[in-house]
Each structure stands twice: as C-alpha cells, then as structure tokens.
Structure 1
Amino acid sequence: MSDPRSVLHALFAAAVASADPAQRVRPFLPDPPKGRTIVVGCGKASASMAHAFEEAWPGPLEGLVVTRYGHGVPTTRIEVVEASHPVPDAAGETAARRILERVQGLTADDLVVCLISGGGSALLPLPLSGITLEDKQSLNKALLRSGATIGEMNCVRRHLSAIKGGRLGAACHPARVVTLLISDVPGDDPINIASGPTVPDPTTCEDAIAILDRYGIEAAPAVMEALTSGRGESIKPNDERLERAEVRMIATPQMALEAAAAVAAEHGLPAYILGNAIEGEARDVGKVMAAIARQVAGKGQPFATPCVLLSGGETTVTVRGHGRGGRNVEFLLSLGLGLEGAPGIHALAGDTDGVDGSENVAGAYWGPDSLGRAWAMGVNPHDSLTANDGHGFFEALGDTVVTGPTLTNVNDFRAVLIAADTDAGPTPPSNGLNR
C-alpha cells in the first residue's frame, strides 16, 4: 500500500472531483424553451455551475448568481456577485433583491434555471419586510453557535425570508422552473439546500419558534413578530405557482463517497461507507468513530484490515471556547484523542468546499504519531478541544489540509484508514500520552 497520508489525500481529491460542476451540469440540462432563458442561483458552487451552464447551453441566456467571496469564476452572460458566508452581508441582500427582479414578468414560454448549492442560505439573505439585515445577522450567528442542525437552522431561515422557502419559485410563475442542485445536506432534501428557494416547504412558523426555544435563542422583536403572527409562512406543497417547478439532483455526498471508495480499491483497500448523512456533535461522532476504528484494528470486526471507513454528512459544533475551529477539525481532534495513539490508524477529515468553519482550511490529517508529537511540542490536545481550537492544533503540527476554494460543495468528508496487522489496544501511559 502507498503512504497512508497520500492515499487519504487522493480519496479526498476524488470526492471533490466527483462533484465538479464542469462534469455534472451538462447531463442535466433542460430542453431549451420557446421564450427566454433566465439563469439565477446561489451557493458556494453557483459560479462554477454558471460557468459550466454557459459552456453547455445551446441558445441565448441571461442571469445572475451569488457566491461566496473568493469563489467567483469568469463568465460571459451570467453575472456573478460575491457575498459573505456564513454570516450574510449587504452584498448578498442586494443580489437577492436583484434575482427576484430578474424573474418578474415572465411567461409560460420562458424557462428559469436555478443553480443551487450549499451556502445559499447565507448568500441569499433577503429579509421579510420589517426585519433588518442586522436582525438576520445576529440570529445567524446565534444559530451557528447553538449546535442546531442544518435542517433546524434552515427551517428558521425559511420563515424569515422573502426569497427562500419556495418564494423564488413562486415568483417565477408561470414560467417553467428547473433547479439543478448540488446537495450539501444530510438526506439530500431540497428544502434544506440553501433553504429551498424554489421548492415547497411543509414546515411552519410554529416549527421555527420551537427551534428557537429549544436552543434558548432570543431573537429580535421583529423576528418574533413575523413568526408569531404567521406572516413568515413559506410556500406550501400543492401551491399552483410551483406546478411547473422540478428539481434535478446533480451531485450528492453519496456520489462523493462512492468516488472515494473506487480510488481506495485502486490502492488495494476495501472501503466501507458508514453513512452519507451522519449528524450530531462533531466531538461525539469522533469518539464513536474512534471506537469503531479500534475494534476493526484490534479484533477485525466488523471489517478485516486493511480497510478504509468512509462517512459524510454535517456534524455540528456547540461553540464554548474561543479558538479557531470548524466541525471537521473538531471531529478529527476528538477522534485522535479517542484513538489514544493506536498504531496503524490514519484519518483525514475535510469540507469539500475547501472551507472548514470560517477559515480557508479544508480540514486536517491525523496519524498514529500525532498525539505524541503534540505533547512533545507542548500542545495540549484536551485544551485545544475544550477551546474549539482544532485549526490551531493542526496548524501547530503542520497537518492542515488546504485546497483553496474547490468551487463545489457536497458537505463533509471523513476517511479513517486502518492498516493491516495493527494492535489498537490501550496504549500504556507514557510521556503524558494518556493525560
């Protein structure tokens, strides 16, 4: 087998490449309309999707998409606007308003193609009347720190937006609407990808209020008025304005994991996909994955070694410290502590968009010697985890994974490589390894 670190990097690269819009957009193109073709969209991959659409589309078109700062690509007919993620800003608000203006006055002969990928919720922040951008920014920060799942966060967002929760799709009526989706959410539910701008929403304002109560989040008075009055209700199933709207899923976390598994097989490593929609606290998932890896390594159960354990989804981090982190490095640090220096076990975790948390670091690598090296350098991994300082920890070890913007996004990627003939039993206390 090749060097485990190199193998893990190759698996991550394959997962990202599987969701490349340059390859995934063309097979899902709709038929050209009799009338106009308008392209709109949002998300971390929307600019690269727009570029791919321009390259493939046989006729005239026009449009506007909004993506994260630094994720833009050159286009000729579709305007690309950059805005802030994960906390929205005025550039995103202006872009959202302009997108709604683009789809006004269409006819049944027209076609709207919506290019949607993860990150669109923050990038398309058009508040309901009476709610300010500052209200949404404050709420977004609270949700991000609360430990709420992506589904819960997006439920709240949908009921405070003038464009999400099916409202963009309804605004396009009576035109045909085809949404091309790159999924970054567990379960691939379109309503949770960028908060579902073009699809009906079965959840209610009452559901959103319950989520805020569940996490003890105090929202601005204007936010609560929109929810308690029902004014924030989203577009529901069977709404006639969405009768001509359809969704085409062009890339998913499962596809990415399968691509990584194929590359593992090329290296002679059986790969087992444990789940493409794993959620929960990142550090808890890390503990569980460490226990599974040690069982495989020490007992050959439930899989023989060598092998690779693959998983995806979107964990959460309840922020209590003041470190620099993201959910992938939080998972990896917790995993490493759970492994307790077990030999022969390597891991890589990263966000397929190239940004874990709010830093331009995709994730990190863990090796059997990582814990010992950290202690030798005077870096306390327990303190790093308590402070939510995964980026600081792996930066000190020189084990960060930096890809730059990948221009796609199919959520988190986790791979644990277990070499043959390992003994993952408890490591005897020495040199502070088991403090």
Structure 2
Amino acid sequence: MELFRRMFAAAVEAAQPEHCLPLHLPVPPAGRTIVVGAGKASAEMARVLEAHYPAPVEGLVVTRHGHGAPTSGIEIVEAGHPVPDASGERAARRILGLVGGLTADDLVICLLSGGGSALMPLPAPGLTLADKQAVTAALLRAGAPIGEINCIRRHLSAIKGGRLAQAARPARLLTLAISDVPGDDPLVIASGSTVPDPTSFADARAVIARYRLDVPEAVRRHLEAGTDPVAAPWGDYVLVARPADALAAAATVAETAGYRAVLLGDAVEGEAREVAGRHAALAMDYLARGDKVALISGGELTVTIAGDGIGGPSHEYVLALLVACGGDPRVSGIACDTDGIDGAADAAGAWFDGGTLARAASAGMAPADALRRNDAGRFFAVMGQQIVSGPTHTNVNDLRVILVDP
C-alpha cells in the first residue's frame, strides 16, 4: 500500500502548476493582462501565475467547490461540478464581460483544466441552466465518454467551442492548459473555449440519439435549428501538463521499487468493469510468465449506472479487477483520479491487495454483489481501502496501477 501511495503522490506532483506553469508564462504586454479560466486546477494555476508573472494582473477564474487557492488580483469563484450550477453561470457571464472591449495592446491569459466545461456554463440564447443541467445529468447516467459530453456542451453554449476566444478579440490570447482528456485534444479540454469547433450540430444530435436521451424540448429545438456560428481560431495554446507526465513519474517510482513498468497508455477509455477485465487477464498472463511488473494506465473510464450504489469509475475499476483476479495474493491494484475526486465521490479512488477478499468475507461484504449494484464506493469505504487525498490542485485524469509480483 505504501508503494501505491508513493506512485499516486509522484503522479500528482508531476502535474502541479507550481512545477509546470512558470516555464510558459509570456512577456507582459504594453497594455493590461487579464486572466480568466476554469477547471479544478485553475485556482492553483492562478495563484502560481500571480507569484511568477512580472506585472500586475486582474481577472476571474472559476473552480470546483473546495478547490480554491489564495490570490490577490485574480478573483476565485467556486461552483458546481460535474453538474453545473448558477454560480458557474454567473462566473461565465462575468468572464465574457472581462475579455470584451480590450485592445490589441492587451493580453488575455486563459487558464484551463479538467472540469472547466461544467464549471463555466453559459447557455446559448433560448436555453436555461436547468436545460444544460438536465442534459449533463442524463449523459453522465448513460455513461457517455467525455468527448461526447463536451460535444453536446459546446453546441448548447455561448462561451465554449471557441466563443471565448472570439469575445477576446482584438487582444492577444494565450491559453495555458492542463490536460485531463485522452489524446490531449484542446477541443475536449474544458470543451474548447478558446479553439475552433469542427463538430457539427448533427454530431450533437447523434449523441442524443445514440443514448436515447429524453432532453428538454428547448434543447431539442436548439440542436435541430443549428444556427449558432462556429468561432474561428484565435491565439496561442500551450499544454503545460499532460496525463503522460503523471504516468511517467509513477513508473519511475515503480521501477525504483524493483518492478518493470509496463505502460498500457494514457488514453484508455471504456466501461470501467470491461477495462478491468482486460487488464486482469493481462496481469494473469504476466504472472504465469513469472514477470514482476507494474501495469500502469491512464485515461478516463465510464460507468453505466444500473444499480443504486455509490462510487466513481476508479472505484468500480478496482472492484471489478479484484473480482476478476480472484484474490490472488500476488496481484494488487489501485485506481485514483489525480484531482482527488472520483466522479462525484469524496475519495480519489481505492486499492486492493491479496488479503482484500478474505477481509471482505469476514466483514460480510460480497464484492460481486457490490459490483452488480455499482456500489464500489461503499464497499471500499467499509473495507477502509479508499484513497482520500482531498483536492490535489491539478487534474491529469486517472492513474491505474496493477502490481504483479510472482
């Protein structure tokens, strides 16, 4: 368990704004520097920017409740995530106001990180926040991947899909982003508020149809009309931290402990229990060959909710892995979200070792039944095998590790 904790800590540390942001700060402009942004790491990014930027700054960033940081010139607003709330809507409207009316002598620095899409909701004309909340909740229940969720969000928004960049003209725009998405696509990070959107309203309608979602009538009419313009590209975009950085840091810790690190990719997607099944089979193959390895992966998994339990994708992955490995004492595993929050849970994730199944039986816990009910969060809470880190002030997606020790 101590090795798991050190690997998770190394992954989080590698993506801390304090280490990755200062290298990318620009030379101050002749005019004003306005800082805006959104995401679970945005408040810490703002704090670090203020500490290292050699000129006065002003602005506003919005982050998740409990993820704030101390700043002076940049206002921090806390809002709801993953379902957007009124605080986020007010902040988004103010952000558009802050970047409007600037000149070519001014600079807008936009700080984006995972969670920014939900935290900066500004409904398109004719839609309400309640409409966007209903659609977001339905997509989450359906287990839609983040790319599809953000496609819908962009087409229901007055600020996403490049519209923030459009509003900042003619000021220079620099986006500094921490990626939490498979493939590090700027269009998907915080729903691409400062990059052009190549997807169409037909793409958004296809997502609704794929999951047979019952959406508000105003949303359906808006998507069918398809009249919102797509913003043109504007400004520079820099990724300051990526999931691959976190996985590499975790791999170094594993190798120092005597394991051969096997990277399974930083963009793994899919249903949590299905991915766990594939990874369990892989772990058993290495075990049969007598290899001492650490199987490390990142990306973002989903859960199609069919039961009444609690817990996020990382919890469900670990529980499914535990069941698939059958309690073999030579296999252990962990999965955590690097922002400290697994879905909407209060824990970053969970872990198991060779004694977990026996301890569960003694406690009257049935792992297979908990998995059936999507109740991994409660299972690992009772077992005392959750990772509770609190806000980490960064967000580079999930860290998953399987240790195989023959």
TM over 0.5: yes
User: Is the 1:277–1:314 Cα contact (8 Å) retained in structure 2?
Assistant: yes
User: 1:411 maps to which residue?
Assistant: 397
In structure 1, the residue matched to 2:156 is 160
1:111 aligns with 2:115: no
Q: Does residue 200 of the first structure (1) align with residue 202 of the second (2)?
A: no
Partner SS state of residue 346, structure 1: strand
Do the aligned partners of 1:9 and 1:348 also contact (CA within 8 Å) in 2?
no
The answer to whether 1:225 aligns with 2:221 is yes
Distance 1:337 1:197 in 2: 41
How far does the alpha carbon of each residue in 1:153-198 deviate from its partner, in whole angstroms, 9 at most, with x for none?
0000000000001000110011111100100000000000010100
Residue 136 of structure 1: aligned partner: 132
Q: How does 1:73-112 map to 2 (within 5 A)?
A: 73-112=69-108
Give the letter aligned to residue 416 of structure 1: I
Among 283, 288, 309, the alignment partner of 1:323 is 309
Which residue of structure 1 aligns with residue 51 of structure 2?
A: 55
CA positional deviation for 1:234: 3.3
Task: Indicate yes or no: 2:242 matched with 1:256.
Answer: no
Aligned residues: 406
Amino acid at match of 1:128: A
Q: Render the CA deviation track for 1:285-340: whole Å, top value 9, x for unaligned.
A: 0111111111111224xxx22x2110000011011111111000000000111001
1:295 alignment counterpart:
285
TM-score (norm 2): 0.99
CA distances 1:12-55 after superposition (whole Å, capped 9, x unpaired): 11000111011111001112111110000000000000000000
How much has 1:410 moved relative to structure 2?
Answer: 0.3
One of 371, 374, 382 as aligned partner of 1:396:
382
User: Any stretches of 5+ residues in structure 1 without a counterpart?
Assistant: 423-435
Letter of the structure 1 residue corresponding to residue 102 of structure 2: L
2:308 pairs with 1:308: no
1:10-29 paired onto structure 2 within 5 Å: 10-29=6-25
1:348/1:363 contact within 8 Å kept: yes
- Over 3 Å counting, the alpha-carbon distance change for 1:317 and 1:234 in structure 2 is farther
1:226-251 per-residue CA deviation (whole Å, 9 max, x = no partner) reads 1111124532xxx2xx34x1110001
2:360 matched to which residue of 1?
A: 374
Report how far residue 94 of structure 1 moved: 0.2
Distance (Å, rounded) in 1 between the aligned partners of 2:20 and 2:73: 20
- Give the counterpart letter for 2:297 in structure 1: S
Change (3 A) 1:374 1:232: farther
The residue that corresponds to 1:432 in the other structure is: none
User: How far did 1:359 drift?
Assistant: 1.9
Alignment of 1:30 with 2:26, yes or no, is yes
Say which of 117, 123, 130 aligns to 1:127. 123
User: Does the CA contact (< 8 Å) of 1:66 and 1:95 recur in 2?
Assistant: yes
5+ long unaligned stretches in structure 2: none
Q: Secondary structure at the match of 2:151?
A: helix
Q: Partner residue of 1:425?
A: none
TM alignment of 1:262-281, pairs within 5 A: 262-281=252-271
Please identify, of 216-225 and 280-289, the stretch whose mean Cα deviation from structure 2 is larger.
Answer: 216-225
Q: How far, CA to CA, are the matches of 1:169 and 1:225 in structure 2?
A: 26
Cα drift, residue 253 of structure 1: 0.5
Aligned counterparts of 1:95 and 1:209: Cα–Cα separation in 2: 28
Residue 282 (structure 1) aligned with residue 272 (structure 2)? yes
Task: Judge conservation of contact 1:278–1:312 (CA < 8 Å) in 2.
Answer: yes
Q: CA deviation at 1:262?
A: 1.2
Partner-residue secondary structure (3-state), 1:325: coil
Q: Distance in 2 between matches of 1:232 and 1:334?
A: 43
1:215 aligns with 2:224: no
- State whether residues 204 and 233 of structure 1, in contact with CA within 8 Å, keep that contact through their aligned partners in structure 2: no
1:343 shift after superposition: 2.0
3-state SS in 2 of match to 1:140: helix
| Aligned residues with identical type, % of pairs | 53
* Match of residue 352, structure 1, among 338, 353, 362: 338
Distance in 1 (CA, whole Å) between partners of 2:223 and 2:33 is 35
1:9 aligned to 2:2? no
Q: 1: CA distance between counterparts of 2:188 and 2:245?
A: 18
**What TM-score do the two structures reach when normalised by structure 1?**
0.92
8 Å CA contact retained: 1:63, 1:79 = yes
RMSD, matched Cα: 0.9
Q: Secondary structure at the match of 1:52?
A: helix
CA contact (8 A) 1:160 1:232 kept: no
Q: Aligned equivalents of 1:252 and 1:405: distance in 2?
A: 18
Alpha-carbon distance between aligned partners in 2 of 1:217 and 1:233, rounded to the nearest angstrom = 25
Contact between 1:205 and 1:232, CA under 8 Å: does it hold in 2? no
> Are the structure 2 counterparts of residues 220 and 18 from structure 1 closer, same or farther at C-alpha, using a change threshold of 3 Å?
same
Question: Structure 1 residue 342: deviation in Å?
Answer: 1.3
**CA 1:233 to 1:335, structure 2 compared with 1: closer, same or farther past 3 Å?**
farther
The one-letter code of the counterpart of 1:190 is P
Rounded Cα–Cα distance in structure 1 between residues aligned with 2:55 and 2:142: 46
Letter paired with 2:341: V
For the residues of structure 2 that align with 1:314 and 1:286, how far apart are their CA atoms?
13
What is the alpha-carbon distance in structure 2 between the residues aligned to residue 348 and residue 234 of structure 1? 41
Q: Which amino acid aligns with 1:260?
A: A
* Aligned residue identity for 2:312: G
